[in-house]
Chains A and B, each alone.
Chain A
Amino acid sequence: EDQVTQSPEALRLQEGESSSLNCSYTVSGLRGLFWYRQDPGKGPEFLFTLYSAGEEKEKERLKATLTKKESFLHITAPKPEDSATYLCAVPPWTGGGNKLTFGTGTQLKVEL
């Protein structure tokens, strides 16, 4: 069974204090790893898709990287508006269509 584990569960940063969020996964094969941001009371908002080990993608202060067993979401010089829950998810390798298995998320709080 596919599993996705995210750490830490919660993270509190000062504005400008860079850090990384971890997403580790156990799947038979990877058909993509998705990162989403979720604000309270809203649906997940798509950030990145990564498909192969070594791949990196950037958007503003966020950079996602992928290895064979885990992905990192690096946040550089975060601002309070980056506060949200960050979710990662993977589709099944075979048989399960395209349903996503999500981790429980990392709740990020960036303070002034």
Chain B
Amino acid sequence: GAGVSQSPRYKVAKRGQDVALRCDPISGHVSLFWYQQALGQGPEFLTYFQNEAQLDKSGLPSDRFFAERPEGSVSTLKIQRTQQEDSAVYLCASSLGGGPDTQYFGPGTRLTVL
């Protein structure tokens, strides 16, 4: 079946622009996660949804970062007024249930802020 998909795969933004990154999880997966991965590092947690409820947003680095999952399926990560330090790969993952199930990752969106 289809895996997790993300779009766009690559995004170049000028500093100060707003960007929106989309994640389509595996159909039927309850949990959805966003991670940020810097070059040469492991993914770092940003935020977590169970259905449409955002249960943990402790990893969002500033109030410029906002995520939503209004219908419990597709999710969007929005970054306002992008800064150079926001340049990274943004990964989305989904898991079937609400427990520590296996998380399946999408291919990521590489964001470059000039």
Please, which residues of chain A bring their CB within 8 A of the CB of B31?
98
- B43–A102 contact, CB under 8 A? yes
Contact of A100 with B45 at beta-carbon distance under 8 Å, contacts A34-B102, A42-B107, A46-B102 already known? yes
How extensive is the interface on chain A, given as a class? 20 to 34
- A98–B95 contact, CB under 8 A? yes
Q: Which DSSP category, helix, strand, loop or mixed, fits chain B's interface?
A: loop
Among the stretches A12-20, A75-83, A89-97, the one at the interface with B is A89-97
5 A-B pairs with least C-beta separation: A102-B42, A43-B105, A99-B45, A91-B100, A31-B100
Contact of A45 with B105 at beta-carbon distance under 8 Å, contacts A96-B56, A99-B56, A104-B40 already known? yes
Q: How far is the CB of A94 from chain B (nearest CB, A)?
A: 12
Report the separation of the CA atoms of residues A97 and B103 in the bound assembly, to the nearest whole angstrom: 13
Report the separation of the CA atoms of residues A99 and B103 in the bound assembly, to the nearest whole angstrom: 9
Residues of B within 8 A of A (CB): 4, 31, 33, 35, 40-45, 48, 55-56, 58-59, 91, 93, 95, 98-108
- B4–A104 contact, CB under 8 A? no
Report the separation of the CA atoms of residues A34 and B101 in the bound assembly, to the nearest whole angstrom: 10
